[in-house]
Amino acid sequence: MGYGSWDDTAYDAARTFRAARGLDDFGYTADLRSVPYDQWTAHPSLDPKGVRVRESRDSEDHGNSLPIAVLFDVTGSMGRVPRIMQEKLTKLHGLLQRKGYAEDPQILFGAIGDADSDRVPLQVGQFESDNRMDEQLRLILLEGGGGGQKSESYELAAYFMARHTATDAWDKRGRKGYLFIVGDELNKSRLARRHVRTVIGDDVRRDITVPSIYRELADRWHVFYILPNQSSYYNDPEIGEHWRGLLGERFLRLDDPAAVCELIALTIGITEDRVDLGAGLADLRDIGSDAEADAVGKALALTAAAPRGRSTGALPAATTGDDDVDFGN
């Protein structure tokens, strides 16, 4: 995937068309609201069951592809965040490409729920370079469920991204892609083999520890977790301790959820060494994101000040001796 180019005019025209006719930007979700809950399913283009690989490949249009994956927790109050992202896709693309943060960004969107209780606990789209990224984002089912136990199936999404993606950035150039998980809860205590089998279809032999799957993921991805304000556990210290133990300074607390696009773009620009924090915040004001600049600056202050060596994507060592990694068949 990853052909074509983003067109601001086409994006604006499509949004205007839907607004004029009273159509929900997330039309697939709106359609499912009219059918019984036990019939809800992921849209076929985002269903991870049986998917061998999601690919980010170079093309004639994009010879230096950089894969970027954004996976949202869509349980409870978190359902607002994908709508914010969809409203700001033009700003995200403008920062990444027109401001030079990423030469050829290819973006994948997906969604995370609860494999213990939700009908649709994981949705994963394709890497796209053109307006199809908007189309796949709007096909996400905003289920709004969750199990109510302060954990969602982030580790299941981490497994898919670790074992079911392939990128020319890594295969040809040894460059990591970017994965942003946007949520407000903990991982499950372990990655359950029954969840992997049921949701993804892999025949793994045993449960997998959470630290081990994130270390495996970090081999090819810069992994960030964004905790936005106005979510259920923004001020819960257990959430921060949990994610800092896995990702270090790549756990980002965001005061203003409306700044999620800007935070993602500037995080990439800084990690790619294309811009520093001060210049990046000036870029945000230049595109009219004055209100978001303070929130982004606060969220990135620790990351921007981190030693250069911590940009390698390496994760802290696991705190448990149980490091089982199951590679299936």
Q: What is the per-residue pLDDT across 122-170, written as a single tens digit (0 to 9) for each?
A: 999 999 988 899 999 999 999 987 656 789 999 999 999 999 999 999 9
- Residue 314 resides in a domain: no
- Residue 315 resides in a domain: no
Q: Using an 8 Å Cβ cutoff, are 220 and 160 in contact? A: no
Tell me which DSSP letter residue 243 carries. Answer: H
- Residue 271 resides in a domain: yes
Q: What is the per-residue pLDDT across 128-139, written as a single tens digit (0 to 9) for each?
A: 988 899 999 999
Q: The CATH number of the domain where 21 resides is what?
A: 3.40.50.410
Q: What is the per-residue pLDDT across 184-201, written as a single tens digit (0 to 9) for each?
A: 999 999 999 999 999 999
- Residue 321 resides in a domain: no
Q: Which two tokens stand for residue 280?
A: 């990046």
| Distance between CA atoms of residues 272 and 95, nearest Å | 13
Cα separation values, 94 from 35, 50, 84, 110, 287, Å: 38, 34, 16, 21, 9
Question: How many domains does the structure of the chain reveal?
Answer: 1
| Distance between CA atoms of residues 217 and 187, nearest Å | 15
Least confident of 79-83, 103-107, 269-273, 320-324: 320-324
- Residue 17 resides in a domain: yes
3-state DSSP of 57-103: CCCCCCCCEEEEEEEEECCHHHHHHHHHHHHCHHHHHHHHHHCCCCC
Alpha helices (H) along 192-256: 193-195, 210-218, 237-247
How many residues in the chain?
Answer: 329
- Residue 3 resides in a domain: no
| Distance between CA atoms of residues 89 and 11, nearest Å | 9
- Residue 316 resides in a domain: no
pLDDT band at 177 (very low <50, low <70, confident <90, very high): very high
- Residue 1 resides in a domain: no
Domain that holds residue 120: 8-306
Question: Is 0.85 surpassed by the pTM of this model?
Answer: yes
| Distance between CA atoms of residues 300 and 112, nearest Å | 24
